[in-house]
Structure 1
Amino acid sequence: MISLAAILLCSVSLFATAALAVCIARSKQATKLTYGLSFCLSAIAFAAAIGALVTMASPDAISTLVLPIGLPWLGSHFRLDALSAFFLTVVNFGGMLSSLYALGYGRHEHAPHRVLPFFPAFVAGMNLVILADDAFTFLMSWEFMSLASWALVMAHHRDTGNRKAGYLYIVMASFGTLTLLLAFGLLAGPDGNYSFTTMRAADHAPLTSGLVLVLLLIGTGSKAGLVPLHVWLPRAHPAAPSHVSALMSGVMTKVAVYGFIRVVFDLLGAPAWWFGIIVLAIGGITAVLGILHALMESDLKRLLAYSTIENIGVIFVSLGLALAFKANGMGLAAALALTAALFHVLNHSFFKSLLFFGAGAMLTATGERDIEKLGGLIHRMPVTAVFFLAGCIAISALPPFNSFVSEWLTFQAVLQSPALPQWGSKLLVPAVGGLLALAAALGAACFVKVFGVTFLGRPRSVLVERATEVDRFSLAAMSVLAFLCLAAGILPGVVIDTLAPLTLSLIGERMPVQTDIPWLSIVPIAEARSSYNGLLVFLFILFSASFTAYLVHRFGSRCIRRAPAWDCGFPLSSPATQYTASSFAQPIRRVFGTLIFRARDRVNMPPPGDLRPARFALEMHDHIWEGLYLPIVGAVGFAAEKLNYLQFLTIRRYLSLVFLTLVLLLLVLALWT
């Protein structure tokens, strides 16, 4: 109860900080005061949440609180259990480090009064979503979170692209909230029991459960970035300031994951076996399409946003496996898959925040986020380069960093699929495992491209040549995240055991205790099947790299030899002769481009003796945007034009329309009951 009250008080204090920021937004101390208070309040909420998570060894260890606000007959219900404590840890840790980063980054914001009031409100809204224990409080907090983040996306509203991104975001957010409203209406039933406690105890019909699952996938999937509901994400996340982008991509998408887990694993009851099939298929497609789009991008923040879509796909693949195993009574395998999903939630919040912080640092130092115009930053921003490299290794799922462990656990869960009794599951799970392997390989290629083109080579512009290292607040935030990416990969057993109360409460089973295994190894199922030791892998890499460096320096030539880099026999000084992001992605584009992007290259090569320059043009299409959303936009415009005459009806016709609508609604209610 103490932790629950502390987090609620911190949320209220964050709202008060937002109100204070409105009053002082144009003063010189507004940035320091707003982000400083946000940092302190997020740190207190983080300490309370992680304290609750560590002490909740029993799944029955929950705290509840009812406040006399909200609907008169319902009030506002709040609940802190193992699941909410974990996600509150993710949210408040992300809010804390984003606030720390913004203490330095925010000084470069040219319109801070458009950002400061909404940042603490955004963090508070995410906290309230996770604490909510009734449908009304959940949806109100969800909408507040969406509106606050929309205002942050629109901070630079004079940019036409940002205005379009904000409009698309608010439309998709409203549509997602509508589907969540319908889902909670089905769970509440005709009696209107909107408390989660009542929904949890109710017996839901199979048809109702299936409809709720579909509505949840649309409602939470539109916020998380599931394909085909992802179209707003690569437009809105880059439009926001970088510390807000880190919160939206690294944290807000996890609030959507929380909403899905809370309803499907907690409120909905026992799942049907085909629940896992749907979630698995959507997750696998999302992972591959997300990383393919990221590979084709040269805008750094858009690339990172597309990469978020890929990681959300990985998380939902694990959740689909957990549903399939749970439906078939395979408790240990379900616990393994759910642990992998939750572990990846934590990992993604670490490395994606780190990468967006790094992108913000580069944007501050150079004014560019197009990686085709960067290069050579490792010499001008060496500390940022090290931290960004750590994030690139982590997101590429390479050992000994954290993402390798969570994706390895996912593959271990995939290997349990032959025990599933349904042939559909037996065939689909290995296929999705292949998609995950493809996404992992493409992800590594993507971030080799990002780091190589951005930090290596020669500067491609004058601004990049003049770049300098960023402030100490930004570097401190990045250093903490880089360290945690490595620590979670070296000591994964600690994280797995900390997640055990969550799987116990949702699955009724947990993975074996990992911290008791010698040498800090982890054994998901049994030693005879597989095991992994992040510490030994780290020590081996450290020793082999150090020993190789020693041998080179000890026995190699001591002479320093410098010569122009080989450039096909023409060592030109122009940076344009370097490898570019587009050229790096070209082989992959030619493999997948025709099917996924309908890509077409147009090359105009003048004949010998013609002095005209050669021309290259690339045409790519987004099938989902052009095939799904543009027709919807056209249909809505057509319908709005045809219904425009309703504005000019007479009083008599208006009353008739209202009467007919009332009769129709009463008929629907009568049929429902």
Structure 2
Amino acid sequence: MSSVVLQISCVAGLLGIAVLAIILSRAKTSTTIIYCATTAVSLVALFGSIRFLVGEAPNPSGLVLPVGLPWLGAHFRLDALASFFLVVVNLGGASASLYGLGYGHHDPAPHRVLPFFPAFLAGMNLVVLADDAFSYLLCWEFMSLASWALVMAHHRESGNAKAGYVYLVMASFGTLALLLAFGLLAGPTGDYGFAAIRAARHTPYVATLVLILMLLGAGSKAGLVPLHVWLPLAHPAAPSHVSALMSGVMTKVAIYGFIRVIFDLLGQPIWPASVVVLFLGGITAVMGILYALMEKDLKRLLAYSTIENIGVIFASLGLALAFQANGQKLAAALAFTAALFHVLNHSFFKSLLFFGAGAVLTATGERDMDKLGGLIHRMPFTSFVVLVGCVAISALPPFNGFVSEWLMFQAVLQSPELPQWALKIMVPAVGALLALAAALAAACFVKAFGVTFLGRPRSTAAETAHEVDRYSLSAMIILAALCLLAGILPGLVIDALAPITIDILGGRMPIQANEPWLSIAPIAESRSSYNGLLVMIFITLSASLSVFVIHRFASHAVRRGPAWGCGFSDPTPAAQYSAGSFAQPIRRVFGTLVFRARDHVDMPAPGDVRPARFRIELHDLVWEGIYLPIVGAVGFSSDRLNRLQFLTIRRYLSLVFATLVTLLLVLAIWS
């Protein structure tokens, strides 16, 4: 059985599981059966795609099915790029299915989730495998509708219906942009096969329009600013294991679409395209993490953090475009590898963190961090794996997030070799934005972990929390282990990504397996190198030595005292730092410009028994400046056009006649 046939068979299996879920929707064992089946099928697809990537990647395999357009059929193809993203999709699917074995039993309406969960996984697999525009768009829409159904699974909860509506509108807008992009790529001949599009010559005008449309279409699904508005609404509304798939996996499928079209189908890029991608990536990274810092809802914080990581990936892809346009294949391969590595890393730690948020939600029923606290004593295993995820997403060694961002900054350091002055200025500026985003991300996840797990419980729900089931813990532990392994053995990942850079860019990074002591050298060892294993050993030994010295030479007497209350008595846990108070210094620095933040203080006069009140006013300038005016314009136009429903027959016929005359005039002038 060829590799592509194996992957299509796994997709068929997932669709069959979706049908089975409908049949077993009311059975008590349906949750266990469906999630076990999706775990098994996802693992088969995962190992098949890994085997292809490390062994058969130079030899793509294709398959044509007699469905779709009559003269075209449905083309599917497995190459190095597709196999890597299938690894991301199916690893995420397997871990989410394992997590669902425990988490799913707490779902109040499993029959609303189970049929669409395997269908969502099947849709993402099909998007990656599609090898013609019609199949791609059909599978893309199938993926979007399945994920929309999962967002609407708990539609009676406050805000979920709005989240589903906004997501559906943005998904439709993105699909329209992709449809126009593929129409331009197909050209007058209308050949929608990717092989024909790849072989055709595209003018700079068409290439520019396609880039803009792909940024709108794929960027809206991935979460690029200002197309991100659906993401912090939809991701928290979905069940937590679905949130992990949408944030850690589905956004990567959108990135796959961008890479497939811009790097593969369009051919040799032009350098101005990289300026646009770099700018959007840098702005997205900073804006996403600033939004996250202002949040106190744990799942919304993680959703906004996804926007920041999407910005990092697009900035790396912009660097790769710049270097590729100037024929610098080694630097382009470095930036492209950094982007792909961060795609993999983000799928690890973001899925882990959403699983952790789901565990907290299961144990406490709360997502508001100001109502949590002290969970490290009641959920020690969850606290530990979430801490690993927070360290990894903060890009701290020896975990995986550090490696991909370090590779990205190594690519930024190659920018002086670019000949265009616009890029010489743009790349360091974007590098500074990414450095700022990395620092803010560390602060954000210190807040997220500290307020949620440390301190004392701020509510009865946090005080009575308990550890979650073994399936949920197993899924989180596996992802935490992968975060560590990818951080201490990055050379294996970089070498596995080499077939993709060779296929797409025509170059690759140096072979990392040749480096001693499992080090990595992006350009050459004399210029820069990193060894995650030695860093981990040093951290472990130094920490162990510190613990030994403290316990050996410090006083053995146990001293206990009241918690420090900043000079005041501290009778209540509510006096602890909250999520808002932690972010206040950053809000004071950036809030006025980015959020038009205002602090409103109501301090009663002496003798007045009213309580003092402090209120923070924040504005989403993107939503208020772009989307609300569009909503108003649509409403205004609808009100005016509504009169057309009440015309007489004579006026209807007059309107049709005037329209026909106008179209004939346009045709006459055009010809």
Match of 1:572 in 2: 570
Whether the 8 Å contact between 2:57 and 2:79 is mirrored in structure 1 is: no
Question: For 1:496-511, what aligned pairs fall within 5 Å after superposition?
Answer: 496-511=494-509
Q: Secondary structure at the match of 1:515?
A: helix
* Cα displacement (A) at 1:650: 5.4
Q: In structure 1, how many angstroms separate the alpha carbons of the residues matched to 2:106 and 2:444? A: 29
The alpha carbon displacement at 1:7 in A equals 1.0
Q: For residues 618-637 of structure 1, what are the alpha-carbon distances to aligned partners after superposition, in whole Å with 9 as ceiling and x for unaligned? A: 11101000000000000011
**Partners of 1:565 and 1:571 within 8 A in 2:** no
Name the counterpart of 2:72: 74
**Aligned residue in 2 for 1:200:** 198
Map residues 235-246 of structure 1 onto 2, 5 A cutoff: 235-246=233-244
Deviation of the 1:644 alpha carbon: 1.6
- Structure 2 counterpart of 1:105, one-letter code: Y
Worse-superposed segment, 556-565 or 167-176:
556-565
Which residue is equivalent to 2:614? 616
Secondary structure of the corresponding residue to residue 523 of structure 1? coil
Identity of aligned residues (%): 71
Matches of 2:661 and 2:336 in 1, distance apart?
Answer: 47
Q: Which one of 392, 408, 433 corresponds to residue 394 of structure 1?
A: 392
Q: CA deviation at 1:383?
A: 0.2
Range moving further from structure 2, 319-328 or 546-555 = 546-555
The answer on whether the counterparts of 2:67 and 2:74 sit within 8 Å (CA) in structure 1 is: yes
Q: 1:560 Cα shift?
A: 1.5
Q: 1:403 to 1:610 in 2, by over 3 A?
A: same
Paired residues of 2:563 and 2:570 also in contact (CA < 8 A):
no
**TM-score normalised to the size of structure 1?**
0.97
Distance 2:662 2:266 in 1: 30
State whether structure 2 residue 576 is matched by structure 1 residue 581: no
> Residue type of the partner of 2:644?
L
Higher alpha-carbon deviation: 571-580 or 337-346: 571-580
CA–CA distance in structure 1, aligned partners of residues 221 and 327 of structure 2: 31
- Structure 2's unaligned 5+ residue stretches are none
Q: Flag structure 1 segments of 5+ consecutive residues without an equivalent.
A: none
User: Per-residue deviation at 1:141?
Assistant: 0.3
Q: In the TM superposition, what are the counterparts of 1:1-400 in structure 2 within 5 Å?
A: 2-56=2-56, 58=58, 61-400=59-398
Query: Quick one: which of 458, 461, 465 aligns to 2:459?
Result: 461
Q: Return the offset for 1:617.
A: 1.0
Larger deviation, residues 458-467 vs 383-392: 458-467
Look up the match of 2:561: 563
The match for 2:402 is: 404
Q: Distance in 2 between matches of 1:229 and 1:258?
A: 17
Q: CA deviation at 1:606?
A: 2.1
CA drift of 1:663 comes to 8.0
List aligned pairs for 1:521-536, cutoff 5 A: 521-536=519-534
Q: Residues of 2 paired with 1:666 and 1:405: CA distance?
A: 61
The 10-residue stretch of structure 1 (532-541 or 653-662) with the greater mean CA deviation from structure 2:
653-662
Residues 280-325 of structure 1 deviation map (CA, whole Å, 9 limit, x = unaligned): 0000000000000000000000000000000000000000000010
Say which SS state the counterpart of residue 514 (structure 2) adopts.
coil
2:564, 2:570 within 8 Å by CA — same for their partners in 1? no
Deviation at 1:525, TM superposition (A): 0.5
State the match for 2:448 in structure 1: 450
Query: Is the contact made by 1:56 and 1:501 (CA closer than 8 Å) also made in structure 2?
Result: no
Contact 2:522-2:529 at 8 Å conserved across structures: yes
1:484-532 deviation line (CA, Å, top 9, x unaligned): 0011000000000000000001100000000110011100001221111
CA contact (8 A) 1:237 1:302 kept: yes
Residue identity in the other structure for 1:37: A
Partner Cα separation in structure 2 for residue 666 and residue 276 of structure 1: 42
**What is the identity, as a one-letter code, of the residue corresponding to 2:587?**
R
Give, in angstroms, the shift of residue 660 of structure 1.
Answer: 7.1
Contact 1:249–1:352 (8 Å) recurs in 2: yes
Relative distance call for 1:659 and 1:525 in structure 2 (3 A) is farther
Name the aligned partner's letter for residue 191 of structure 2.
Answer: N
CA deviation profile, 1:392-417 (whole Å, cap 9, x unmatched): 00000000000100000000000111
Structure 1 residues 419, 113: closer, same or farther in 2, change over 3 A? same
Confirm or deny: 8 A CA contact 2:373 2:462 kept in the other structure. Answer: yes
Change (3 A) 1:668 1:143: farther
Displacement of 1:656 after TM fit? 6.8
Residue pair 2:299, 2:354 contacting (<8 A) in 1 also: yes
The SS at the match of 1:79 is strand
Distance 1:668 1:7 in 2: 49
Give distance in 2, aligned partners of 1:343 and 1:50.
15
Pair 554,158 (structure 1): closer, same or farther in 2 beyond 3 Å: same
TM-score normalised by length of structure 2: 0.98
Give the direction of change, closer, same or farther, for the CA distance of 1:670–1:556 in structure 2 (3 Å limit).
Answer: farther
Count of residues in Structure 1 that have an aligned counterpart in Structure 2: 671
Shift of 1:421: 0.8
Sort the Cα spacing of 1:534 and 1:25 in 2 relative to 1 into closer, same or farther, 3 A: same
Cα distance in 1, alignment partners of residues 200 and 647 from structure 2: 46
| Corresponding residue for residue 550 of structure 1 | 548
Cα 1:34/1:54, change in 2 over 3 Å: same
Q: Tell me the CA shift for residue 672 of structure 1.
A: 9.4
Asked whether the equivalents of residues 322 and 338 of structure 1 are also in contact (C-alpha less than 8 Å), the reply is yes
Look up the SS of the partner of 1:413 in the other structure: helix
Distance 2:497 2:56 in 1: 10
Matches of 1:135 and 1:671, distance apart in 2: 32
Which secondary structure state, in structure 1, belongs to the residue aligned with residue 108 of structure 2? coil
Amino acid at match of 2:129: L
Question: 1:494 — aligned with what?
Answer: 492
